Amino acid sequence: MPLKILHEDATLLVVDKPAGLTVEEIARQLGYTPAHRLDKDTSGVLLVAKNEESLESLRRRFKEREVEKHYICLVEGDLKEDQGIIHTLLTRSPADRRKQRTYPLNEPKEGRREAITEWKVLQRLQDYTLLQARPKTGRKHQIRAHMVQLGHPIAGDKLYGFKNQHIPRGLTRQFLHAGYLKIASQEFVSELPEDLQNVLELLPSHYGN
C-alpha cells in the first residue's frame, strides 16, 4: 500500500497513515521507526524518525506531553454535555488481555497509569455523536477505553463496543482518526478519509433535518 507523506526533512517523516496497516508494517516499508503508535484500524498523522537521535527526541517530547494531538471519533449515542474531561487510571484488563480497562483515581496505582482525555462535541447525529478527542497522555487504546468509560464506545470498534452494537452503514472499522498533531512550531493535518466521510454523509442529523 503506497503511503502518503505529509512532510519530510532531514530527520523526520510525517505519514498520513491509512487504516489497515500496523506501525510495524509502516516501519518495514519505510525503513525508519515511528515515534509513537496508532492502532491498526486508526488512520491519521504518524511521526516517523529518520535516525536514532530524532527518535529519542520525539519520544521524550511525547513522554513530557509536549505534543498536541486531536482525534476525530464517532461514538454511539447522544452525549448530554458539549465537552468534558476523562481522568482515570488505565491498565491491561484482567478479563481480556487485548483490552485496556479504566479505574478510578482513588484506587491503588500499582501497575496502573494516569490517563487524561479532553473531548468536545463537533456534531450531533441520529444515534451517534461526532467528537474531537484530545489525549493529554499517550496510553495504549486510551481514547477507545475512555469512550467506553463515558458509556459511548466508538462506532465500529469491535473490541471495545458493547454487545449487539449497531454499526453505521458503510463503516468497516473503528471511526477514529488522528487528524491534527502539533510539535514545537510544526503543525500537521490529515483530512478525514473518504471512507469515514461517506459514513457521516449517510447519517441523518440528530433532529432529523
Q: What is the largest CA-CA distance in the chain?
A: 53
- Of the chain, the end-to-end C-alpha distance in Å amounts to 39
Query: Cα dist. 41→126, 157, 158 in Å?
Result: 24, 9, 11
Tell me which of 16, 39, 41, 157 is the catalytic residue. Answer: 39
φ and ψ at residue 85, rounded to 5 degrees: -130, 135
Instruction: Give the residue carrying C-alpha cell 471519533.
Output: 73
Within 10 angstroms of residue 123's Cβ, the number of other Cβ atoms is 13
Closest listed residue to residue 128, CA positions, set 164, 160, 168? 168
Asked if 16 is an active-site residue, the reply is no
140 Cβ partners below 8 Å, 6+ apart?
37, 90, 100
Inter-CA distances, 162 with 53, 71, 76, 157, Å:
43, 21, 10, 9
Cell reading at 40: 491498526
Q: Which residues are catalytic?
A: 39
